[in-house]
Homo-oligomer: A and B are copies of this chain.
Amino acid sequence: MTAKPRGRPRNAQTDTAILEAARDLMAADGYERMTIEAIAARAGVGKQTVYRRWPSKAAIVAEAVMAGHLGIRADAPPRTGDAAADLRTWLGQFFGQLGQPATVAVIRGLAAAATDGGTEAEQLYERFTGPGREQMLDLLRLGVEHGQFRASLDIEAAADAISGTLLYRALIPPSAVVDTDAAGFLDLLLLGMTPRTSPGGTRPERR
């Protein structure tokens, strides 16, 4: 049990203001070019107030993502009973967002934050992938149980492959993006079934 706080309590709206400032600047400048000084200024807040709440830029970004201030929405996946379909729907959310520059900026930022090294990388990994990963593993496990995915599936490895592909797609330059849709990707990964190709079927040339 925490001791009753004394002195002036922290202003809860300040958190929001900072996270929103971070979100805007991230979209505008990218993670690297965004500075804590600029975040504070845009939030109309002293620098110390930022440092009092988060230890680093990476931590701010991680929180902004988790709090939903940044583009990637981690809504709970649907649970219709059809695990494969649910997974497709859910991943579709993410793959669909890869078209939006803001989302790409965020994922790039997270990757950059992860490379900052030190404990933040671990934190970020935990906070960012943690909850989503659990959902993913659940659905994969369910799919195996229901016989939708093959029994030998290494669900942890599968989860990593999904996350990794998502990350990779965000990092590569837009001109090189291959427009495979999420469902096709999932089939590729998990089923050995014919992936449903995008309408028209023909793959565009790489630049």
Contact = CB atoms under 8 A, between A and B. Distances in A.
A173 B169 CA distance: 20
A80 interface: no
A168 B108 CA distance: 12
A164 interface: yes
Interface stretch (A13-21, A71-79, A83-91, A193-201): A193-201
Interface residues of A, number: 51
Nearest to A172: B125
A203 B169 contact: no
A154 interface: yes
A169 B164 contact: yes
Given A112-B112, A152-B194, A171 B167 contact: yes
Interface string A138-170: 000000000000101110111011011111110
A178 B197 contact: no
A90 to B, nearest CB: 18
A49 interface: no
Contacts of A122: 173, 175-176
A4 interface: no
Contacts of A195: 152, 154, 157
A173 B125 CA distance: 7
Contacts of A189: 161, 188-189
Contacts of A50: none
A126 B173 CA distance: 9
Contact of A33 (B117, B154, B158, B180): B117
13 contacts: A30-B115, A31-B115, A108-B117, A111-B115, A114-B171, A122-B176, A153-B188, A154-B188, A157-B184, A161-B168, A164-B164, A164-B167, A168-B168
Interface of A: 30-33, 108-109, 111-112, 114-117, 121-122, 125-126, 129, 150, 152-154, 156-158, 160-161, 163-169, 171-173, 175-176, 178, 180, 184-185, 188-189, 191-195, 197, 203
